[in-house]
Structure 1
Amino acid sequence: MWPKIKPYILILPALLTTITLFLGGIFGGIIRSLSAGKPGEISFYAYAQIFSSQDFWASFLFTLRYAALSVLIASFLGLAIVFGLFYVRMEINSRLSLFLQRLLQLPMLFPFLVAAYIIFILLSPHGWLARLLFKLNLAGENSFPLLVNDPFGWGIIIAYVFKTCPFIILMLYPVILKIPKAWLEAGKVLGISQAGFFRKAVFPLLIPPLKTASFIVFAYTFLAFEIPYILGITYPKAIAVYAYQLYTSGSLSDRPLALAIIITSLLLIAMISCLVHIITRRWGKTIKPGGKENGFQTV
């Protein structure tokens, strides 16, 4: 009995500390967000204010747009890279595939603040890439597109894809390590190409870790502060930047509003994540490795 529960006992202090601080912070934020009325009374004044605020909904839609696009682009790019690593592992060399996978993890070494600064100096209208194109006579002096501090949020999206795509690859790569080469050889005997084998036999196995990685990326990018603060615009602001500026504005009456924005954002993230989980779960039931519905039976 003891060997089974020993790992859980060892991590219990760290787990309790994390849960206490996390839940304590959320509970404290809820209590303070409900204290916008008279002292000692529970009031939903802060929530009524933000729900009727045009600035809040503009910030919410802006944040939802760049967070969703960041997740989609990073997921598709991560899947494409994993397919490439799968091809290298099966057809060329497994050690080369592992080396490339580790090389792709380099962006994870940079903090998000550093990643934002890298994107800024690379893609700003007078950054390194604009100067390089101008030196090569491939672009005019003022013809470089606005990709940083732009209204759509392309700079934020590029920075998040740069940081989160390696994380998605890290979550997906162990799946292809468990697939023996004999499966691919059997597929070739049955006349299935490598792309078809990946789509019909490997991709269904990637759906669970892809869902988990996408949820983590979406939840983080939706409430992250550093990159939108550096690469965003003054209006509409990202949710985290909007709440931060309200909280530090100097007026104590704005602090319940800032906390109500964060609590509301957490609830909206939970609702969106549950909705996406239900949709992808139903879709995932129609995609099973080795089933008749996808035209490939595992040998």
Structure 2
Amino acid sequence: MSKTKELARHKRDRTWMWIQLLPVMLVLTVLFGGALVLGVAQSLGFAPWFGVNTFPDFSYFGALWGDSFFWRSLGLTLYYAIAATLISLVMGVLLALALVRSFPSKSLYKYLYKLPLMIPYTVGIALAVIMLGNGGMLSRLMAFAGFIDDPSQFPQILKTHMGWGIIAVYVWKQTPFVALTIYAVLLGVGRETEEAAAILGANKRQVFFQVTLPQILPGIISSTLIIFAFNIGAFEAPFILGGGFPDTLPVVAWRYFNDADYTLQLQGMATVVSIALVAGVILYSYLAFYRRYERRIGRH
């Protein structure tokens, strides 16, 4: 009888939880779901407010995917997104591992490393221009120290397709986010397992790869998904710090939307949908691979 009452109470709690979540879910469904449906429809030729209604029309995707510039832009977009994500991930994990250990001024440093999280990306872009440009602070310091004769001789970091400035802004902003996520996981699991492995004779490399890494892997996966999804769709940094044609896909979409020929907005929407498709496939594959790994090690 008590078990029946417990099940009934659990069912009531779940029902009440869904009732509480219903208003938020309704707003999210209408706003984001509606925008998604409208965006896909517009990319397929549904735009009666522009005098265009050829739905379903795949010619916009055909014209986009059939042009070599799209694939060059896609490669550039993926390069920036993947490079920044990997560097942020490695640096964030190293920072989190350092934070769980004791060192002088740790309490102060725990606040300092979070500062980039509170600064907008546009401010980070402005700092990159001030610091890394050919007439910026770093080039002037190099000239003052005698490493170069003139600030104009400083290597070109910004406005190139290598994207060092773009990647630097992403890494500067996202490394603290990854560190914060992993640090929270490390605090939750504690260090008892690591200490036990060390006592049993495992070296530092074995402790990390066989004990620590499997414990923090869920935090790594979640933070990677978030920052990669942002990087592949980011607009400001590639637009301001990028090297121009070929641009990243978000910048290409913006140029379509900003064109005097307003019917090109349908081509821009096809570009946006293409970004979403590519990001969705990559993130789904990444998550599916992780799920298979979890099942293989017996963790569900």
2:136 pairs with 1:115: no
2:261 corresponding residue in structure 1: 251
Residue 150 of structure 1 aligns to a residue whose secondary structure is: coil
- With over 3 angstroms needed to count, the CA separation of the structure-2 counterparts of 1:235 and 1:200, relative to structure 1, is same
Deviation at 1:145, TM superposition (A): 1.4
Counterpart code for 1:269: A
2:199 corresponding residue in structure 1: 189
Counterpart code for 1:189: I
**TM, length-normalised to structure 1:** 0.86
1:45 corresponding residue in structure 2: 59
Contact 1:75 1:165 in 2 (8 A): yes
2:56 pairs with 1:61: no
Partners of 2:209 and 2:21 in 1: how far apart? 39
* 1:64-106 CA distance string (max 9 Å, x none): 1110101111111111112222333xxx58xx65653332111
Deviation at 1:172, TM superposition (A): 0.9
Contact 2:182 2:216 in 1 (8 A): yes
Contact 2:257 2:264 in 1 (8 A): yes
1:160 corresponding residue in structure 2: 170
Mind listing any 5+ residue stretches in structure 2 that lack a counterpart?
1-8
Contact 1:75 1:210 in 2 (8 A): yes
2:85 corresponding residue in structure 1: 71
- Identical positions, percent: 26
2:30 pairs with 1:16: no
Contact 1:172 1:210 in 2 (8 A): yes
1:229 corresponding residue in structure 2: 239
* 1:259-289 CA distance string (max 9 Å, x none): 0011111011111112223344445667789
- With over 3 angstroms needed to count, the CA separation of the structure-2 counterparts of 1:97 and 1:202, relative to structure 1, is farther
The counterpart of 2:279, out of the listed 269, 275, 281, is 269
Counterpart code for 2:26: L
Deviation at 1:58, TM superposition (A): 1.5
1:260 corresponding residue in structure 2: 270
- With over 3 angstroms needed to count, the CA separation of the structure-2 counterparts of 1:174 and 1:6, relative to structure 1, is farther
Residue 208 of structure 2 aligns to a residue whose secondary structure is: helix
Partners of 1:281 and 1:143 in 2: how far apart? 50
Residue 233 of structure 1 aligns to a residue whose secondary structure is: coil
2:162 pairs with 1:148: no
- With over 3 angstroms needed to count, the CA separation of the structure-2 counterparts of 1:182 and 1:271, relative to structure 1, is closer
Partners of 1:283 and 1:144 in 2: how far apart? 46
Deviation at 1:187, TM superposition (A): 3.0
Counterpart code for 1:134: A
Counterpart code for 1:147: I
2:43 pairs with 1:25: no
**TM, length-normalised to structure 2:** 0.85
RMSD: 2.5
- With over 3 angstroms needed to count, the CA separation of the structure-2 counterparts of 1:245 and 1:4, relative to structure 1, is same
Contact 2:253 2:269 in 1 (8 A): yes
The range that moved more, 193-202 or 239-248, is: 193-202
Deviation at 1:14, TM superposition (A): 3.0
Deviation at 1:191, TM superposition (A): 2.4
Partners of 1:131 and 1:45 in 2: how far apart? 51
- With over 3 angstroms needed to count, the CA separation of the structure-2 counterparts of 1:149 and 1:284, relative to structure 1, is farther
